[in-house]
Amino acid sequence: MKKLAVVAIGGNAVNRPGEEATAENMMKNLSETAHFLVSMLDEYDIVITHGNGPQVGNILVQQDLAKHVIPPFPLDVNDAQTQGSLGYMIALTLGNELRKKNIERQIAAVVTQIVVDKNDPGFQKPSKPVGPFYSKEEAEKLHQEKGWIMKEDAGRGWRRVVPSPIPLDIVEKDVIKTLVEKDVIVIAAGGGGIPVIQENGALKGVEAVIDKDRASALLAKEIEADILIILTGVEKVCVNFKKPDQRELDHLTVEEAKKYLDEGQFPSGSMGPKVEAAIDFVTSTGRECLITDMAVLDKALKGLTGTRITK
């Protein structure tokens, strides 16, 4: 019997650093991503999640530039837009790769709402980087002119940050489970899901971007996945990242991961949420999480590289 994996693909799978964010480039990159994902299917059933930080940020820029002509949409609606567009692109490229390999599988992208707490402190302290990178001078200008909150993102430049509440429940979880049981490859919780709150017996969208790794951990728990796989731009998790004494980690226990988090080894805009998501999933289920680069996924699944987090 195949194992069930939730595979969280990072921004690099959609847009490479420094690359123009065109639909053509995104399709090209996702075609490569599809190749790696299809290679898993002999041993795993997969549910795919993806980020949307660069894409939703770009929509915000577009809407800001056009606000005198067309009223901007709230952030939750923009989250939904990126779920639809990226879900389509992943389904299309994945389907083409399946046809190339003569594999018959159905694919479904589920627009996913995720419940958050309206009193979550994340609404008061924006932390989720979105959109393009700016120089310090550009960031200061944008803050003064537009009131955007800007933060440095792991030494890569400055980005706009928006609220990022903790995901609590997945509205469509039973639909996703049913599709998985019917052997469908599911794309879900894209961009961390669309954040909604419960108010007077109804759901209401809120302006935020949920971290996709935290949402992926929640989804993995909800559908009882055997493993959570977080794909990122590095082969292994490192301590003292980009310093002379940088050290790659093959394995982390939950306690070791918590210790490094407390020491500030994993920045909140990059590796921090990935390690937090791993801790959450592993602590709750007793199963394992793998963090690695998509290009070495095959080797990592065989235990030859990557960082595994276990209880």
Residue-wise pLDDT for 129-159, tens only, equals 887 788 999 999 989 988 889 998 877 899 8
Give yes or no: residues 117 and 135 share one domain: no
Under DSSP, the state recorded for 304 is: S
Q: Which domain holds residue 258?
A: 3-122+166-309
Which is more confidently placed, 78 or 53?
A: 78
Whether 290 contacts 231, CB under 8 Å: no
- Dist CA 243 CA 261 (whole Å): 17
pLDDT of residue 132: 79
Give yes or no: residues 153 and 30 share one domain: no
- Dist CA 45 CA 176 (whole Å): 13
pLDDT of residue 80: 96
Q: Which residue has the tokens 């302006």?
A: 207
As for how many domains the chain has, the answer is 2
Which is more confidently placed, 160 or 41?
A: 41
pLDDT of residue 131: 78
Q: Residues of the chain with pLDDT > 90: what percent?
A: 80
Length of the chain: 311
Give yes or no: residues 131 and 245 share one domain: no
Q: Is the pLDDT of residue 11 over 80?
A: no
| pLDDT band of 172, cuts 50, 70, 90 | very high
Whether 193 contacts 112, CB under 8 Å: yes
Give yes or no: residues 218 and 150 share one domain: no
Among 10-19, 69-78, 118-127, which stretch is predicted with the lowest mean pLDDT? 10-19
For residue 3, the surrounding DSSP H or E stretch is strand 3-9
Give yes or no: residues 54 and 103 share one domain: yes
Angle among Cα 51, 192, 284 to the nearest 5 degrees reads 115
Give yes or no: residues 241 and 131 share one domain: no
DSSP reduced 3-state for 225: coil
Give yes or no: residues 156 and 58 share one domain: no
Q: What value does the mean pLDDT take over residues 156-181?
A: 94
Give yes or no: residues 40 and 136 share one domain: no
pLDDT of residue 197: 97
DSSP reduced 3-state for 130: strand
Q: Which residues pair with residue 251 across a beta bridge?
A: 308
Give yes or no: residues 11 and 150 share one domain: no
The residues assigned a catalytic role are 11-12, 128, 212, 274
Q: What value does the mean pLDDT take over residues 233-260?
A: 94
| pLDDT band of 202, cuts 50, 70, 90 | very high
In degrees and rounded to multiples of 5, residue 165 shows phi and psi of: -70, 160
Give yes or no: residues 147 and 207 share one domain: no
pLDDT of residue 41: 96
Q: Is the pLDDT of residue 121 over 90?
A: yes
Q: What value does the mean pLDDT take over residues 204-214?
A: 94
Give yes or no: residues 25 and 144 share one domain: no
Q: Is the pLDDT of residue 15 over 90?
A: no
Distances (CA, A) of 212 to 108, 195, 233, 252: 18, 11, 15, 21
Average pLDDT score over the chain: 94
pLDDT of residue 35: 95
State the SS3 of 92-112.
HHHHHHHHHCCCCCCEEECCC
pLDDT of residue 252: 96
The domain spanning residue 95 has which CATH number?
A: 3.40.1160.10
Give yes or no: residues 71 and 152 share one domain: no
pLDDT of residue 156: 82
